Amino acid sequence: MITQKYVNEVAYEIVGCAIEVHKHLGPGLLESIYESCLIEELIDQGFKVESQVSVPIIYKNKNIGTPLKLDIVVDDIIIVELKAVDTILPIFKAQLLTYLKLTGKPKGLLINFNCENITKNGLVPMVTENFSKLPEKNNFVELSVSVVE
């Protein structure tokens, strides 16, 4: 079952992978290089990764034929939008929010590799109503069974 806790754990691991890539490459490269390396890192960590995912744009019940391209989708629940820019502009946040709404994904991460520290000034996490509709955590109680001989 997908829960808010699970989505946040996956997002945490994605950020860890981005930090690993940034640690090895540093700032100043092209977005496509960071994308390729992050995909490799995510796959090495066991995630299901799709890149340059086409999302059809439906306008007034018609497919207008110009698909939207998402940078990375991880485990079919988190959109990762990558940048290699001097400043994260408000339009980048707006785009990610629109991507989330169009796809119904619960969470997105805007990651800018052109910075000194990703977690301080290169990361913008975003959630939608779909995230808030997820249960916070599993309500199952784990039972331990011991065998007595």
Which has the closest alpha carbon to 38: 8, 60, 52, 17?
17
pLDDT in 10s for each residue of the chain, 149 residues = 899 999 999 999 999 999 999 999 999 999 999 999 999 999 999 999 999 999 888 889 998 877 789 999 999 999 999 999 999 999 999 999 999 999 999 999 999 999 999 999 999 999 999 999 999 987 655 555 555 55
The alpha carbon of residue 69 and the mean position of all alpha carbons in its chain are separated, in whole angstroms, by: 14
Q: Is residue 113 one of the residues assigned to a domain?
A: yes
Counting the structural domains of the chain, the total is 1
Q: Within a domain: residue 142? A: no
- CATH number of the domain at 67, please: 3.40.1350
State which H helix or E strand residue 52 sits in: strand 49-55
The answer as to whether 139 is a domain residue is: no
Instruction: List the domain range (segments joined by +) for residue 50.
Output: 4-133
